[in-house]
Homo-oligomer: A and B are copies of this chain.
Amino acid sequence: MPPSTTSQLGHLLLGLLHQEPQSGYDLRRAFAETPLRHFSDSPGAIYPALRRLRAAGLITGTLDRTYPRRPREVFRVTPKGKGVLRRWLAALPQASDLERDVGALVLRFVFIPPVLGRRAGVRYLAEFERLLKAHIAALRAFHAAARGAMPLAGRLGLEHGIASFTTHLTWSQEAQVSLRRASRRES
């Protein structure tokens, strides 16, 4: 058996199906109607991805025959799929992820607390925060060094990056507070 790699979309589908078993069409609607718009709601993306997950044994599909002439196939995560999901969520953020796609890191965070618990969410965000601080420092250094030689628009673009990452940092700190407060309320 191959190492069974799972794509970003695959992991996201696992996360959504773990929250609630549903059909491919339901997932498409979620992509179209919620702020998950970053992902395409096209059937050519979702149905093949679901078939790959099923082929890998990570989900199973059962036919809902409420309307026999128009069956829906409802997918749910198998124990093996839950293992893959947990491994995805247990990995800490990497610097390379930060530079490539911050949104993916935030998306992953969203699934951590319900699957691995709030403590794991806080640990994840703490590492996220550490990486962000280092990255912002590097951007500032670049900004200071390149100041004179850079055309205006390039400088503005760089400043956009600094502002964005600073917002991620502030959010991450506040989110850690929210998680800790919610945990305290329970105990």
- A residues bordering B, Cβ < 8 Å? 34-35, 37-38, 99-101, 106-107, 109-114, 118, 121, 139, 142, 151-154, 156-161, 163-164, 166-168, 170-171, 175, 178-179, 182
Q: Contact: B142 with A34, CB < 8 Å?
A: yes
Which 8 pairs from chain A and chain B are nearest by CB?
A: A37-B99, A110-B157, A167-B167, A113-B153, A156-B175, A110-B153, A160-B171, A106-B160
Number of copies: 2
Q: Contact: A107 with B156, CB < 8 Å?
A: no
User: Chain A contact residues: over half helix, strand or loop, or mixed?
Assistant: helix
A20 to B178 Cα, complex, angstroms: 48
Q: Contact: B156 with A178, CB < 8 Å?
A: yes
Q: Contact: A171 with B163, CB < 8 Å?
A: yes
